[in-house]
Every structure is written in C-alpha cells, then in structure tokens.
Chains A and B, each alone.
Chain A
Amino acid sequence: METAKQDNTDIPPETVKKTIAIVQILRLGDIIQTIQTAKSLRQEHGDKYKLLLIARKKFANHLLDQINEVFDECITIDLKDLVLKSETVNLENSLNNIRELKAKISSHNIDVCVNLSYSKTANYLMSLITASHKIGPYYNENANLNINDKWSQYLYANVLETSLNSFNLVDLYKLIIGVSPKEDSSNIVKTGNKNKVFIHPFASDKKKVWGDSKWVEVIFKFLRDNESKEVFLVGAKNDQEACKKIINNPLLQTYNNRINDLTGKHNITELKELLDDDSMFIGHDSMVSHLASLKKVPIITISLGTVRTAETVPYIAGAYNLSPQTKCFPCKPDTACDFYQCHADIPYQTVNEALTIVSNGEELTKESLNKKLSHFHLNSINITKSAYNSLGLLSLESVLENEATYDETIRKFFTITWSYLVSEIEGHNEFPKISDKTHQRLLTDMKGLQQLFELSEFGKKYSRYILEEISCETPNLNKIKDYSKKVDEIERLSDIVSETHPQLSPIINYGKVARANLHGDNLVQLTESSFYSFHDQANATSIMYELCEKTLTQNQKNKTVKPQTTIR
C-alpha cells in the first residue's frame, strides 16, 4: 500500500494528447499555406495537440522538411499506390488498398479532422475517415455535402463563388481551426538592398502568367539599369522550355552572364536555402511566392486571370502585389478569354520600376513611382502592400490611392461583418475615404441591404410560425407546409436581390449554404436552425447597412470641412 501511494504521487497521470488531422490534398502552395496555419496553431497551443497532415504524395514529398517542422506525422495519398500497388490491377485490389490507407489514418484515433482542401476527392476522403469531430465539407451516407462549422460554410460560399472575399486563405484556415487571428510582428519582410532577384515567371494556368516577351522586357531593363544585380529564373522541370525562350531572347544576350537558369535544377528545400539575405522574389501567384514568404525576403507578386489577390498573396506583412483594374479581373477558371486584357493592363515599365525600388531597399510609394513613371503607366493597375489590420488579419493596403476604391470599401465592410458575426472579433477601424462614385454605389447597396434585411426577417417570422404550429396540441400539417413554402419563396426572392445587387451575394450565398446544412435530427431542431440562419443573415445585412451609413455620413462631414476645389 505504501509503495502504491508513493507511486501515485511520483507519477502524475499523463494527459493523452488530442489528435488533429488536417486534410490538404491540393497543390504545393496550398500545403505551404497549411504549414503556416499549423505554425500559428503551435504558437498558440504549443505541443498540446498531435498534428497529422494528410496530403498528396507527389506534392508533400517536396516539402517534407517544412512539414516535419510543424506536423507530428504526414500520411500521403497517391493514386499509383492505391491502384498499381497490387499485382493485379482491379477494383477489388484498389478498394483493399484504400481500406489499408483508411486503417492507417484511423490508427491515430483522430479527435478532430479538418478538411482544408475543398475538392470533391477530399470531401469523399473525409467521409472515409473516422473522427470524433469533422470540420469542413464531407459527404454523408445520403451523398449530401455536409458543412457544419460557420467559417467553412463562409469559405465554401464565398471563396469559390464570389470575388468579394477579403480574407487571406491562411487567416481563413486559422479561423476554421480556431486559432485567434493576431498580428505576428515577426512575420514581416526583411527589407534592404538585394542583389539577387529570384523570378518565377511561370504558373499552372496560362491565364495567370504573362507571355515571355513581357518578362524579357522586365529583365532587360532591370539588368541594364542595375549593373550590380543578377537574376535567377526558378521553376520546375516542365518550365525549362519556357525559361529557355526567355533566356535565348536576343534582347538579353548582352546580360547572359547575370542571368541564371535554375529551372528544374533544385528541389524545394534547396531553393528555400538559396533565398538568402541578399535575395528578393518577383513572380506570379505560385508556390515559390509562398516559399519566399517563409524566408521573409522582399516579395512582389503579379496577379492575373483567375487569381483572387486577397486570398492568395503570400502570408507575410510587407509584400507588394500588382494587379490589373480590368473589369473582368479576377475571372473564373472556366471563363473563355482570347486576348487577356488583364495581362495588357499591367505595363512592364511599372513592374520594372517597382522591382528596382524594392531591390534597392526603398519603400514603394506613389511618389517614388511617379518619379519615373507617367500617369498612363499607373492608371490601369492596383498596387498593394500587405499588413496586419486591427483585427489581426492580413490585409492589403493601397500604395497608389488615398481614396479606397468601391471594391476595397465593400471588402473592408465584409471583413468587419464576418469577423464580428462568426467569431465576435472586433477592432478599431478607420472610416475609408471614398470617392463620389463609391458614395453613390454604397447608397444603392443600402437599398439592396434593406430588401435583404426584410427578407431575412420574413424568414425568421415563418420559421417561428412553423415552430409555434409544431408546439400546438394538434399541429396543422397544411399550415406547416404553407409556411415552408413561404420560406422557399424567400430563398427565391433572395436570388433576385443577388441578381440586382451582386455585391451582396456573399451574404446570400452564406445564408444558402447555412440553410443547406441545418443542425438537428427532427423538425423542431431543423426549424430552430433555420431561424438562427435567417437571424445571422439579418445581422450581417444590419452590420453592413450601418457601416455604409456611417461611412457616407463621415464622407459628407469631410466634404463640409474641406471645401472642394472646383474646375470652372
């Protein structure tokens, strides 16, 4: 007894670590963003959780060093392994291999499994994994897509469907997992004079990448004007041909001794090491830009085609982004395009000037750009710099404009609205300075918001009527059906509001996704959930309305204080 007592006091009971599994079966850039998210989770909770990453073998294998820095284990998935591992290729053997994979994943006794991939394959994979809790989309036994948590519903409704999401994907992933957003003062670009410029002029999609002639112009002018600097072209093996086209251009022959072709020559870990204190990065939206953010080197990204700048800029403060003001930018992957107007709207002279300024360790400002560029070089382009806002989220601040554009204004309002509505995150936000044009557009939005608020209130009302009818001693089924029809009608009317005021579609989409994923096992619980969903929608419209109203009032006040200069 004595010994037993002694033992009890000497060895405290060991807490079993909870296991969080993250499914990220998309490409290299997505894995790096997931690693950055997991790092934040580690910063907030230390080693409290066991972290498991489930990723595609062909991508994860290139990033194993980075993955192992933060994850306890990485389980990889590979189609070849699943299909060709057995001696005979048939369905039965493939399914047996999938069961082996399932058993391997399930052996970790997963407490929470988070899907950050948002692909059909990942959604099916989620349905095969045994976990106490599932976050993010997964298919249920009725082949319906389930998304139970609000941030994943937001992501599904907005990131894939609209261009009005202002959250960086890393911040969204953090919010989905439950990491509080806060400014990380160490996550900032280290500026200074840089002599090595790493260029990644390639991307997975033609729409996202400039033609080689534009890159030739940038490289030519940059090397001509900066005699001490060198460029390093980086990319995968399948980029080698495109790289040769750039390097072999007659314009660059004089500077060949300062152009280094590194395409297909280094793996990702080696490339990361090459990005030293004397380096900076410029290129399109790709994995290399995210890799550069891990090394905190100065970064300039050029967003084109389908790229949603705010979502995919490298997750670091102090990085610059250039994007076109083209009306159709950003487009959708299936949008047909013949002449790539967005490519033409970013002049190479502007890119070159931005590159020279940043590589010299100077701040990119409207004044510094105006020294060598004309109005025509800057009037079709947005230049932003990333910074943490008062909510602790990474946001993009305009370098060129004092006045916020309409899109910037509405995105800012949405960020404030969603952060408060879903996570009760509040911060100090200045009223954006807006133009008269934006003023008018916000006035129109307010009408749409009013309509949407009324519809949401009707939704609440009819959901409440259903609940009241159910709670009667003798519920009238016909009445319940009539009220349900009214709720359906509200959905249709919301679609009409969405068509008239497309900028309000994030709220309408979110409401729809939420109502497609109502919580509960019976009619009462489902109707209550419907009520709360309309309640959230009403609150979102209400917050947006208030933000529009206050901004317009402030704008009006500013005008009366500062008399406007008029042209007679």
Chain B
Amino acid sequence: MSNFATEVVNKIEEIKKSTASGSSLSQEDLEVLFLASLLEEEGHGNS
C-alpha cells in the first residue's frame, strides 16, 4: 500500500475509534470520508 493510501486508512481507523466512543464527526472527518468514498468508487469502476 502506498503512503497516501496508508494515511487514508489510518485516518479512517481513527475516525472509527472516535465515533465508537461517542464523538461526533468533525468537518475534517467528513472530508476524509468523502475522499475515501471517492477513491473507493473510482477503484471499483463505479464512477
């Protein structure tokens, strides 16, 4: 996995942990989730 992909995956793990402990999503979290979703769509050819 590239550094960029690792960064995204790690950040998502962080978001998962913080939401599991009851924290709400910040704007940055939503930005990361948007980016991850876009990457996932393009990766699956669903775009």
Contacts and interface: CB of A to CB of B under 8 A. Distances in A.
Contacts of A121: 34, 37-38, 41
A142 B27 CA distance: 12
Interface string B1-32: 00110011001000000010000111110111
Interface in A51-101: 56, 58, 77, 79, 82-83, 89-91, 94-95, 98-99
Contacts of B3: 90
Contacts of B39: 79, 83
A127 B28 CA distance: 11
A272 B27 CA distance: 42
Interface in A110-140: 119-121, 124-125, 127-128, 139
Contact of A142 (B11, B24, B35): B24
A58 B19 CA distance: 34
Given A56-B47, A58-B47, A91-B4, A119 B28 contact: no
Contacts of B31: 95, 98-99, 102, 128
Given A91-B4, A139-B30, A120 B25 contact: no
A94 B11 CA distance: 13
A4 interface: no
B19 A143 contact: yes
A94 B47 CA distance: 19
Contact of B7 (A58, A90, A127, A143): A90
Q: Say what secondary structure dominates the interface of chain A.
A: helix
A27 B42 CA distance: 12
A430 interface: no
A102, A124, A127 interface centre (most CB from chain B within 10 Å): A124
Contact of B35 (A98, A127, A139): A98
B47 A139 contact: no
Contacts of A143: 19, 25
Nearest to B2: A89
B33 A95 contact: no
Contact of A124 (B8, B26, B37): B37
A167 to B, nearest CB: 24
A120 B33 CA distance: 9
B30 A95 contact: no
A82 B31 CA distance: 11
A124 B4 contact: no
Contact of A91 (B8, B25, B27): B8
Contacts of A94: 4, 35
Contacts of A82: 35, 38
A144 to B, nearest CB: 10
Nearest to A333: B46
A141 interface: yes
Nearest to B25: A141
B6 to A, nearest CB: 9
A99 B32 CA distance: 11
B35 to A, nearest CB: 6
A207 to B, nearest CB: 15
Contacts of B34: 98, 121, 124-125, 127-128
Given A58-B47, A141-B25, A90 B4 contact: yes
Nearest to A102: B31
A124 B30 contact: yes
Contacts of A98: 31, 34-35
A119 B38 CA distance: 10
A83 B4 contact: yes
A27 B46 CA distance: 9
Given A56-B47, A89-B4, A95 B37 contact: no
Among A98, A121, A128, chain B packs the most CB atoms within 10 A around the CB of: A121
Given A91-B4, A99-B31, A124-B30, 7 more contacts: A79-B47, A83-B4, A95-B28, A120-B41, A121-B34, A128-B30, A142-B24
Interface of A: 27, 56, 58, 77, 79, 82-83, 89-91, 94-95, 98-99, 102, 119-121, 124-125, 127-128, 139, 141-143
Give 4 nearest A-B pairs by CB, closest first.
A124-B34, A141-B24, A91-B7, A121-B37
12 contacts: A79-B39, A82-B35, A83-B39, A89-B4, A90-B4, A90-B7, A91-B4, A95-B31, A124-B30, A124-B34, A125-B34, A141-B26
